[in-house]
């Protein structure tokens, strides 16, 4: 499986974007041997399990030029790196509490010479910045995540959709989302035909503001 999987679903990629996506394989294989950020099993399926899965967010929301996105608990750079390649005119901040993971992400950013990505070694709770959208995958259950990211979404929207959280989740979310009446769940199996996406979803949670 290779970069063709990405072109299959994103048909208007530029040569630079294709080169960037292609380069990810070598960069991750190299860095993962030194610092394990992607499980061995997954590294063979990097484009499916990490790159295309991350880009599931882009099937739900196109980010406008000049907007700002925070990836919380980015680990090895997912979903932030693939999204930053897809949206070069959007500013991405990738944060993780573990320094060695952020080191790998920074190496990948440097390797691709991505100019729209800032990496931060920090707990998200300690950030004092605001963003249009917060993206994430596999970091915390929604109530904890909402608590950690409180106050970090800009009030004024630069998109038709209200600013908020776009979270890649899997499985049955009934219990986890029961207190979030405004949450919307988008099925990635409606966007991608591979079996991997059968149970995968994007959860959108618009930000609430007190007046």
Ligand X SMILES: C[S@@+](CC[C@H](N)C(=O)[O-])C[C@H]1O[C@@H](n2cnc3c(N)ncnc32)[C@H](O)[C@@H]1O
Judged by the rule CB under 6 A, the positions of this chain that interact with ligand X are 72-76, 78, 95-98, 101, 123-125, 137-139, 148
CA distance 182 to 159: 17
Which residues fall within 8 angstroms of residue 126, CB to CB, at 6 or more apart?
none
Annotated binding site: 73, 78, 124-125, 137
Supply φ then ψ for residue 103, to 5 degrees: -60, -45
Q: Quote the least distance from Cβ 24 to ligand X, whole Å.
A: 13
Q: Containing H/E element for 155? A: none
Q: Quote the least distance from Cβ 99 to ligand X, whole Å.
A: 9
Q: Quote the least distance from Cβ 96 to ligand X, whole Å.
A: 5
- Comparing C-alpha atoms, which of 19, 26, 35 is closest to residue 104? 35
Residue among 35 and 98 whose Cβ is closer to ligand X: 98
Length of the chain: 211
Residue among 139 and 203 whose Cβ is closer to ligand X: 139
Residue among 147 and 159 whose Cβ is closer to ligand X: 147
Residue among 123 and 159 whose Cβ is closer to ligand X: 123
Q: Quote the least distance from Cβ 75 to ligand X, whole Å.
A: 2
* Helices within the chain (DSSP H only): 4-9, 15-34, 40-43, 53-60, 80-86, 99-112, 142-148
Annotated binding site for S-adenosyl-L-methionine: 73, 78, 124-125, 137
Q: Which residue do the tokens 């099925």 mark?
A: 187
């Amino acid at each position: 499986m290779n970069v063709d999987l990405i072109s299959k679903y994103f048909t208007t990629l530029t040569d630079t974007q294709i080169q960037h996506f292609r380069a990810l394989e070598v960069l991750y294989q190299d860095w993962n041997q030194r610092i394990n950020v992607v499980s061995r099993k997954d590294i063979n399926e990097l484009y499916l399990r990490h790159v295309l899965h991350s880009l599931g967010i882009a099937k739900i929301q196109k980010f406008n030029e000049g907007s700002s996105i925070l990836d919380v608990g980015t680990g090895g750079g997912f979903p932030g790196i693939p999204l930053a390649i897809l949206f070069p005119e959007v500013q991405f901040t990738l944060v993780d509490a573990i320094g060695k993971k952020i080191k790998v992400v920074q190496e990948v950013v440097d390797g691709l010479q991505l100019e729209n990505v800032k990496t931060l070694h920090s707990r998200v709770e300690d950030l004092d910045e605001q963003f249009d959208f917060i993206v994430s995958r596999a970091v915390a259950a929604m109530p904890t995540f909402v608590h950690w990211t409180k106050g970090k979404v800009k009030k004024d929207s630069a998109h038709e959709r209200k600013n908020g959280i776009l979270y890649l989740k899997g499985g049955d979310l009934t219990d986890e989302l029961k207190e979030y009446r405004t949450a919307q769940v988008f099925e990635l199996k409606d966007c991608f035909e591979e079996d991997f996406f059968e149970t995968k979803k994007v959860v959108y949670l618009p930000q609430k503001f007190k007046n």
